[in-house]
Amino acid sequence: MRAVRYIGEARPQVMDVPTPAPGPGEVLVRIGGAGVCGSDLHVLDHSIGIKGPFTLGHENAGWIAAVGQGVSGWKEADPVAVYGPWGCGICHSCQTSAENYCEHHASLPSYGGGLGSDGGMAEYMIVPSPRLLIPLGKLEPVQAAPLSDAALTPYHAIKAALPLLTPDASVVVVGVGGLGHMAVQILRALTSARLIAADVEQAKLDHARDLGAVHLVNTSDGDRAVEEIRSLVGERGVTVALDFVGVQPTVDLCSRIVGRASRITIVGLGGGVLHYSANQPPYGCEVSVPYWGSRVELMEVIALAQAGYIKADVETFPLVQAVEVYERLRQGRIRGRAVLLP
């Protein structure tokens, strides 16, 4: 079968690999779509230290193709989303379904399929345990694939901030790409806090407006953006700042716009540093660095999509165009989420 492989180089390779067969306890999934995520660029650039070779693709959905010995309760052709961060399955965090915070992460062979183990940018992928599968119901796999990261990650970040997101609060989404465009929709679905979308690109801001963001701020000029946001939210400052980019200018922006008793959530892996000095960020500010989300939260995200509250804006490409799609992603030329079809 065809697969998009990380071979230790900045450029992935589309090549033929043997079609895998499920071992005991495993499940073979026929891939319906694999999302192309910005964090893959950090894998390809070596900046997060995951060693190859392996098949890329950590946002996957499809249909059960075969089950290994001892797997029951699932049948062929059932549509499923694959939960991405594979934990040990037995520690306290994993038992609460938060495998994204597995206590044994340092000794696990990989972060998950597409992140050390073979992922979903192929016709088939092996999922090591059925506990990592979420039923899709009537949701199409190609629509569901991006939800497993591009929606789950912001959902997890937003859920933790919900106590602060009262109707008189404000929330800023910094970066309206794959994750940010889902964050805007999740915030609209879960809160009535005043929503401000911020990005350096007008096309991304237009997208945010289409998705229901009322206030749009171009952040190309940091000082001007701080002023603009401050004039929108007044003296109280921003209540929750969600940074889906994580580069120095966006981290600095978040630190300068939040008010007292606020929250800065840094999701993006851009390598920015949050500096602290007395009252900067302001007193009472919580800082959070969430990673991905739990299995139960993925079920909640799927439910939000099934009910029509959120929808990934998907642009599909054939698997063989993977190299070109990563190049477009690198140049910021993807609206919403690119999904590869095998």
Interface residues with Zn ion (CB under 5 A) are 37, 39, 87-88, 91, 94, 102, 104, 149
* Closest separation in Å from C-beta 242 to Zn ion: 16
For 36, list phi and psi in degrees, rounded to 5: -105, 110
* Closest separation in Å from C-beta 279 to Zn ion: 34
Q: 246 or 281: whose CB is closer to Zn ion? A: 246
* Closest separation in Å from C-beta 136 to Zn ion: 19
DSSP 8-state symbol, 53:
-
Q: 83 or 217: whose CB is closer to Zn ion? A: 83
* Closest separation in Å from C-beta 267 to Zn ion: 10
User: Which tokens in the block code for residue 208?
Assistant: 């945010």
Longest CA span, the chain: 62
Q: 4 or 193: whose CB is closer to Zn ion? A: 4
Q: 152 or 238: whose CB is closer to Zn ion? A: 152
User: Which tokens in the block code for residue 36?
Assistant: 């192309």
Alpha carbon separation from 89 to 103, 104, 107, 128, 173 (Å, rounded) = 10, 10, 13, 11, 32
d(CA 289, CA 287): 7
* Closest separation in Å from C-beta 194 to Zn ion: 28
* Closest separation in Å from C-beta 53 to Zn ion: 19
Q: 150 or 172: whose CB is closer to Zn ion? A: 150
d(CA 62, CA 29): 6
Secondary structure in 3-state letters for 120-176: CCECEEEECCHHHEEECCCCCHHHHHHHHCCCHHHHHHHHHHHHHCCCCCEEEEECC
Q: 149 or 228: whose CB is closer to Zn ion? A: 149
Residues 274/251, Cβ–Cβ less than 8 Å:
yes
SS3 of the chain: helix, strand, coil, percent, to 5: 35, 25, 40
* Closest separation in Å from C-beta 342 to Zn ion: 19
Amino acid at 250: T
Q: 37 or 144: whose CB is closer to Zn ion? A: 37
